[in-house]
Amino acid sequence: MKILLFLEKSNVRGGIEVFAERQAEQLRTEGHQVQILHSFDLQAVCSCDQIIVHKCTDVATLEKFPAEKTVCYVHDHEPICPRAYAYTPLQHNCTRSSGLFPCLFCAPLCRSWKAALHRVFVQARRKRVLSRFSRIIVISEFMKGRLVANGIPADRIAVSPPPLPDYTTVLDNDATRIATPIDLLFVGQLIRGKGVHLLLKTMAKMKTPRTLDVVGTGNMESRLKAQATRLGLADRIRWYGFQKHPQEWMRVARCVVVPSFWQEPYGLVAAEAVALGKPVVAFAIGGLPEACHGKATLVPPGDVDALAEALDATADRDENGETT
């Protein structure tokens, strides 16, 4: 089968890009011809047997794909939130259905009321396009519930969590080796929704002084480093920036922390850490409980005191030899 995989380019390699790359590799091993497009090409669309859309932010482009042979993945909140994040400018998670109200009061962060109104109507167009595709695939039951609540027909939606590779093979074939012991580990983009600023506050509250390794980069990096200095944590944190195989850090970590306070559609880092047999402490929000498969310590979203208590508990278990 000739398959076209559509994925917009991004200057940040996040979970969507990793997922799409892995799917393309898997399809090729199954004998399919896979072409990856980063911009719409009518000739390529017409010549393929199936189209898999992973990321297409422009609704006019999305409307060009033929409904009968297009499968569309929904990795995040973009199809149901004009701001794409599903939390408000006041940093409150939103569980409402999108529409003229209250979205028109939240979306003006796009600089003007005119632009806000445009975004709200574009969102309605996007939901209509999704409703006509042959199939929509979401990565968690949580996201299926959000789409159904926003008017997408449930019978068009399938749930398929991101596939995880055999990390034994992936890691053993890579040249990177982490020799330094790692205590607490965060992996992800350094953006507000990922909650690293909450993790730093947590470390300042913990009874047991612990070190933190941060793998990732983002627009909050400089502010987070300044926050760590203000809290007296600078000498307990190492910043590694973006790494191609963050699983190398995971497999030598004592604990992986996922402090996201936005509604994670799934939580690939948590799923990978669990697959590697690592203790995981996370906020119980969005699709994270599903990604952890009951094998993580989950605390109420945004509760810094509860997170500190949970991380202190993992330190106690390590000292007693109960955790590898």
Q: Mean of the per-residue pLDDT values for the chain?
A: 87
Q: What would the pLDDT profile of 293-303 be if each residue is shown by its tens digit?
A: 999 999 999 99
Using CA atoms, how far residue 323 sits from 152, 309, 314, 318, in Å, is: 44, 17, 8, 5
Residue 169 corresponds to which tokens in the numbers above?
């093979």
Quick one: pLDDT at residue 323? 43
Alpha helices (runs of H) in 91-234, residue ranges in sequence order: 100-106, 113-132, 141-149, 167-172, 196-205, 221-230
Structure tokens at 61: 């482009």
Q: Which of residues 136 and 178 earns the better pLDDT score?
A: 136
pLDDT over 90 at 144, yes or no: yes
**Is the domain defined by 2-159 classed in CATH 2.60.40?**
no
Q: Considering only residues 8 and 286, tell me which one the structure prediction assigns the higher pLDDT.
A: 286
* DSSP assigned state of 154: G
Q: What is the pLDDT of residue 322?
A: 47
- CATH topology agreement for domains 2-159 and 171-319: yes
85 φ, ψ to 5°? -105, -20
- Confidence band (pLDDT; 50, 70, 90) for 106? confident
User: What does the pLDDT average to over 8-29?
Assistant: 81
Separation between Cα atoms, residue 40 and residue 43, nearest integer Å: 9
pLDDT score of 104 = 73
pLDDT, tens only, 180-227: 889 999 999 999 899 999 999 999 999 989 999 999 999 999 999 999
Q: Where are the chain's structural domains?
A: 2-159, 171-319
* Residue 170 clears pLDDT 60, i.e. is over it: no
Give residue-wise pLDDT tens across range 245-264. 888 899 899 999 999 989 99
Reduced 3-state DSSP string for 260-301: CCCCCCCCHHHHHHHHCCCCEEEECCCCHHHHHCCCCEEECC
CATH, domain range 171-319: 3.40.50.2000
Q: Is the pLDDT of residue 59 over 70?
A: yes
